[in-house]
């Protein structure tokens, strides 16, 4: 196999809780992760010359070792002493620095693609172990689907597929530093924690209304306070038929869940026209687990 084309899907957090700050500075979390059908396209090509070449449709993305997909490729090339080089073409659609694990999803796909292309024989668990070296979300992005994420994100429990629904995505024209959000989250002062167990049970019951009613993200206590536009977008969605709306990850992206496509489409059009968000997408939940997602 000399080339391969794959899809790297974004995720949203149906629930996100922070349990404690560890002595090493990392935060222990409990999150319910869910893929959506919004994805980057990644083409990997084997080259005769050594080295890693990255091409991308966005001029501001790094194409050197500062890019997570470069690090992912280098990790396997170095470990298995691969003599060929690779050219990776990234066609980016997932919003950047948006709380949707776009960079982690890209890195996950590169690990999977190189494993397949060079017949390295790594199983999913072995890929996830290597992915953790690149970032806490990478193991989930290899597993995909619906999952409970614990620890720093590396302890994953697969869940039944969440009910299919429309997902309206909006990213305002701001950038949020995940580091800043966690540094300003005072875990010992949190008085209300998301009902993660309740979300898990609602997923097992296939009860979309119950899932929507329990959407909660403890990081909103920091992000929304600093960026009120996030709450404005949430209200916009809820006032236009969303079952509920929530910030994903550390933000600033907001998603709304809809059980009627026509209502979701109307909200999508109005949100685009409003100008309160820089990027707006209408997609749906996506639940295929494991394996390669060919483009």
Q: Do 194 and 116 share a domain, yes or no?
A: no
Question: What does the DSSP assignment read for 36-82?
Answer: EEEEEEEEEEEESSSSEEEEES-TTS--STTSHHHHHHHHHHHHTT-
Last residue of a domain, one of 158, 192, 214: 158
**CA dihedral (282, 152, 136, 159) positive or negative:** negative
| Cα 120 from Cα 118, distance rounded (Å) | 6
User: Tokens representing 42?
Assistant: 């990644």
Going by pLDDT thresholds of 50, 70 and 90, the confidence category of residue 290 is confident
Output the domain CATH number for residue 261: 3.30.70.890
pLDDT at 295 over 80: no
What is residue 281's predicted lDDT score, i.e. its pLDDT? 98
87-119 pLDDT per residue, tens:
999 999 999 989 999 999 999 999 999 999 999
Q: Do 154 and 171 share a domain, yes or no?
A: no
Last residue of a domain, one of 120, 137, 158: 158
Going by pLDDT thresholds of 50, 70 and 90, the confidence category of residue 158 is very high
Does residue 294 lie in a domain region? no
Going by pLDDT thresholds of 50, 70 and 90, the confidence category of residue 286 is very high
Going by pLDDT thresholds of 50, 70 and 90, the confidence category of residue 293 is confident
pLDDT at 66 over 90: yes
Going by pLDDT thresholds of 50, 70 and 90, the confidence category of residue 188 is confident
What is residue 175's predicted lDDT score, i.e. its pLDDT? 87
Helix H segments across 99-192? 102-117, 124-132, 138-143, 178-183
What is residue 120's predicted lDDT score, i.e. its pLDDT? 98
Does residue 147 lie in a domain region? yes
Compute the average pLDDT of residues 167-196: 92
Specify the number of domains making up the chain: 2
Q: Do 143 and 10 share a domain, yes or no?
A: yes
Does residue 291 lie in a domain region? no
Indicate which residues carry an active-site annotation: 11, 137
Compute the average pLDDT of residues 65-89: 97
Q: Do 199 and 272 share a domain, yes or no?
A: yes
Q: Say if residues 244 and 212 touch (Cβ distance below 8 Å).
A: yes
Does residue 289 lie in a domain region? no
Nearest partner of 257 among 131, 151, 132, 167, judged by Cα: 167
pLDDT at 207 over 80: yes
Going by pLDDT thresholds of 50, 70 and 90, the confidence category of residue 121 is very high
Q: Do 277 and 178 share a domain, yes or no?
A: yes
Going by pLDDT thresholds of 50, 70 and 90, the confidence category of residue 36 is very high
| Cα 140 from Cα 136, distance rounded (Å) | 8
Does residue 290 lie in a domain region? no
Going by pLDDT thresholds of 50, 70 and 90, the confidence category of residue 4 is very high
276-285 pLDDT per residue, tens:
999 999 999 9
Range of the domain at 52: 3-158
Helix, coil or strand: residue 270: helix
Q: Do 188 and 121 share a domain, yes or no?
A: no
Q: Do 150 and 41 share a domain, yes or no?
A: yes
123-141 pLDDT per residue, tens:
999 999 999 999 999 999 9
pLDDT at 25 over 80: no
Last residue of a domain, one of 137, 158, 179: 158
């Amino acid at each position: 196999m000399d080339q391969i084309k794959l899809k790297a899907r974004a995720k949203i957090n149906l629930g996100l809780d922070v349990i404690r700050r560890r002595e090493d500075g990392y935060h222990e979390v409990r999150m319910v992760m869910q893929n959506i059908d919004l994805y980057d396209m990644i083409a990997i090509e084997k080259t005769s010359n050594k080295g890693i070449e990255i091409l991308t449709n966005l001029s501001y993305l790094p194409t050197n070792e500062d890019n997570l997909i470069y690090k992912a490729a280098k990790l396997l090339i170095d470990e298995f002493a691969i003599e060929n080089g690779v050219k990776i073409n990234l066609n980016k659609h997932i919003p950047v620095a948006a709380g949707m694990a776009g960079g982690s999803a890209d890195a996950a796909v590169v690990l999977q693609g190189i494993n397949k292309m060079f017949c390295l024989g790594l199983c999913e668990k072995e890929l996830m172990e290597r992915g953790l070296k690149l970032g806490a979300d990478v193991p989930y992005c290899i597993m995909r689907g619906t999952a409970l994420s614990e620890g720093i994100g590396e302890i994953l429990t697969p869940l039944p597929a969440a009910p299919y629904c429309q997902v309206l995505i909006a990213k305002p024209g701001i950038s949020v530093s995940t580091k800043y959000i966690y540094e300003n989250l005072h875990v010992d002062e949190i008085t209300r924690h998301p009902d993660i167990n309740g979300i898990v049970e609602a997923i097992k019951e296939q009860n979309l209304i119950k899932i929507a009613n329990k959407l909660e993200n403890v990081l909103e206590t920091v992000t929304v306070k600093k960026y009120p536009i996030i709450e404005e977008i949430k209200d916009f969605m809820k006032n236009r038929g969303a079952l509920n709306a929530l910030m994903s990850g550390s933000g600033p992206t907001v998603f709304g869940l809809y059980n009627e496509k026509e209502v979701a489409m109307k909200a999508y059009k109005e949100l685009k026209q409003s100008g309160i968000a820089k990027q707006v997408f209408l997609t749906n939940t996506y639940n295929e687990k494991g394996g390669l997602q060919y483009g």
